[in-house]
Each structure stands twice: as structure tokens, then as C-alpha cells.
Amino acid sequence: MKKMMSPHRQHQLPVPFSCKVLLLPLLLLLVSCASMDPANVDVQIPESAPEVKATTYTQALRDLGLMTDIFGTGDLKIQSNPIGDNTGTSGSTGGEIPRDITEMIKSSLNSIGGQVTFIPYDPAFIQNQIVTGYSNFDNKLIPDVVISGGITEFDRGLETRGDGTDMGVEAEFTNAPSWVPSKSVSVEYGDRGKTGLARITLDFNLLDFQTMAGIPRMNSVNSMEVSKGMAEKELGITLFGPTFGRKGSIKKVQGRHAAVRLLVEVSMIQVVGKYLNLPYWTLLGDDVLPDPVVMDTLSRDFYSSNKSTQVAKAQEWLFLQGHDVQISGVLDAKTLAALKAFNPSFSTENPVLDFDTFAALFQAVPIAPQTLGRRQLIFQSPVVQPSGVLAESGNQLLPIDQPVSTQYREPESQPAQSQPASSGRTTTGSIGRKLTDEEW
């Protein structure tokens, strides 16, 4: 006869199975209870060491100073007005953009070096030094030009865009044990994000220090778009009733102050390079177009110069590029060979120095220490010229019947002409720099 089980024993049969299922997560919970104790909550803060602030244009600022030495621009003494936020949003937005950017401009101008000297504007400091007897106005440098400007636009919320994805899968198991709270298993996933766009614009103008009048076309207006974004993801799993999951979110904001610094640096490169008639855009990347103001000046000086002066300037740039040509103003065999090497399409049978080749030579001068060394050779070496051609000695263009020294010397004083020295333009035969009053 088959032995019958007691009702009590039949009722206890599922217990071992349920214990195995329920005791495992309980055990894990007990093991990790120490780390889950709310009283033991902690957060790890990353630590970093101080580092030099370097931007995309840090090297370009230094190279601009080297460019002024290579092209022999002469000294430029520049001062900046106190410059800040002209929109007034720095206060209403809780300092989202800087209120005063004068120090950024000081750092940018002082980083150039070369022929550019920055003179700070701080009348209170100078006056206090005079009162204490420590200093006076003797030996103080007088600026040539002054920079004015400010943050003129800060447009927030130009574009706000959001997107999201939600999906879920659920299945029901009819043969699940009767002791589980639910007979279903589900998986849910969510992914949401939002982005915002703003724009910052900085305006700068160059003023003549003596007249405090704006120098025509010596300005810059640059804008930069800055973004911010937020993203959230969550994953939830339900197993026969109990639910667990993970969720994460992140928010990133492109630094407004860092964006303003970039705008300041590129604007200072642009204003100084434009005023000194330098191919400064070659320092900013291969995709930057030539400045039309500089190229217009180059074109006007080219077409207002005689052929000998045009050739002499081209020979100077060829020499700076490493070609051992004589700066004679004559298209001799060495010059033609150098022009052919520079531009394979240049015709040596019927040689004509056109503006396109002239402008290409102007922009192709390497900005490197070895190029500065070749500039010093021009300053220090005698230049033998044919009659009627201008020869360069130091920073001064001399008629050929005037002796040219083998060493660099300061230009002698000459009567000033009617054209103001602050026009920001070069004279015929001196493309690439601005002559001083003495050189006029």
C-alpha cells in the first residue's frame, strides 16, 4: 500500500525552493548593508594640480610678435581702455559672462611681444606713485594707439532642442510559482536629452592716441556660439514583482568665460595684425581667409610702386624664405629661378611680377626663428644695387646714391609729410609695416 503524506508535510514542500530564491538577495543585502547605510554616505572629489592656461591662440599670439620682427614693422605702443560687458547681462545672469575683460586684453597684448609694447591704463596707480615720490612722468612711454570695445551681444536661448526615447517589454509566465507576487517580467529603458545654444559677440576699435579719433577700418567684430546640454538615461527591470534598475544624468555647459577669452585673443591678433599690415591670418589656421583690409593695402601699394620697388620687395621676401637672391630690384637669373621654384607656373621667358605672385610671396614668409636670422642678415649686410633702385638699410629705404652701411643703424630724422602717421597704412616700397614720423 502506498504511504500517504501528511497534509502538513505536503504544505512544506515548496518552502526549500522559496528560501533559496528569497534568501540569496537577502544575504547580498546584509553583506552590503554597511555601504548602504545612509549615515555612511560619501562623495569623491577629483583633485588637480595648477597648470598653465593655454588656448587655441596662445602660440598664435607669440608668433604674431615674431612676425613683427621678421617683417620689420617698427615699434607699436598700444594701450587698452577699461573694457567690460556692455550688455548688462553679467549681473542679471549671476556672472554667466565676465563683467570686466580688461585683464584678458592685457594678458593677450602682453603675450605678443616682438615690436608690440603694451602700456596699461591705470591713472590712479600713476598718480599715487607720483604723490609718494616714487615716480614721475619721466621715461614713461606714450601710446601710439588705444583699444576700445566690449562685449556687445549675449543672446541666450537662441535654440533649445530636446529629444527622448522610451521603450518597454513585458512578458507573463502563467506557470510561475503561486508564491511570487506577480507572474510578469518586464524591462523598461529611457533616454532623454536637451541642448541649448547661445551667442557671444565682442567689438573692438582702434583709436589714435593723439587725436582720440577712430582709425578707419581698424576694428574687429567676432562672434562665438556656446552650447549647453543635459542627458538622462534609466533602466528598470521587474522580475515577478520586485523591481530594480539604474539611472544616470549629466549636464555640461561650454565655458562662457573661456569663450570670451578666445574671442579676446583672436580679436587682438586681428586688430594688431591689421594695423601693422601683416599676414596674421596665416597664424590662425589653413582655412582662414586673407584679411581684405590688409590685402587692399597691399594691392594699392603694389600698383602705386614702380617695377624696381616691386621686384626689390619680392626679392626681400624670397630671401626670407631661404632663397639666396640679391635685393637689387632687377629680375636677374637667381631671382627668376627662385620665383620659378616658388611658383612652377611662373614664366621665365617673359617674366612679369604680377600681383598674385607678389601677394603669395607676402603670405608665404615662414614665421620661424631662422627667418628672423635671415632678416638680421638683411639689416647687417651691404646691399649693392643698380642706379635708381631703392635699397633697404635697417628699417629705412634709402636712394641708391646714398651709402648703405654694413651694420644696422637707426633711421635719420626727415621732415614729416602731411599724411598722419596713425593712418595704419604703409607707404610705397614698405609693405608690411607702418612708418614712424621720423621715417616719413
95 — pLDDT class (breaks 50, 70, 90): confident
Which candidate, 402, 400, 404, places its Cα nearest to that of 378? Answer: 404
Higher-pLDDT residue of 401, 196: 196
Proportion of the chain above pLDDT 90, given as a percent: 53
Proportion of the chain above pLDDT 70, given as a percent: 78
Mean pLDDT confidence for 119-134:
80
Mean pLDDT confidence for 183-190:
88
Neighbouring C-beta atoms of residue 285, cutoff 10 Å: 9
350 — pLDDT class (breaks 50, 70, 90): confident
Mean pLDDT confidence for 25-50:
71
DSSP β-ladder status, 214-239 and 184-208: antiparallel
Which candidate, 186, 284, 301, places its Cα nearest to that of 235? Answer: 186
CA distances from 262 to 53, 165, 270, 300 (A): 12, 36, 12, 32
Mean pLDDT confidence for 55-84:
95
Enclosing H/E stretch for 195: strand 184-208
Higher-pLDDT residue of 122, 210: 210
Tens of pLDDT, residue by residue over 247-267, are: 999 999 889 999 999 999 999
Check whether 435 has a pLDDT greater than 60.
no
Mean pLDDT confidence for 308-328:
94
DSSP string, 238-251: EESS-EEEEEEEEE
Mean pLDDT confidence for 380-387:
48
Mean pLDDT of the chain: 81
CB 406 within 8 A of CB 380: yes
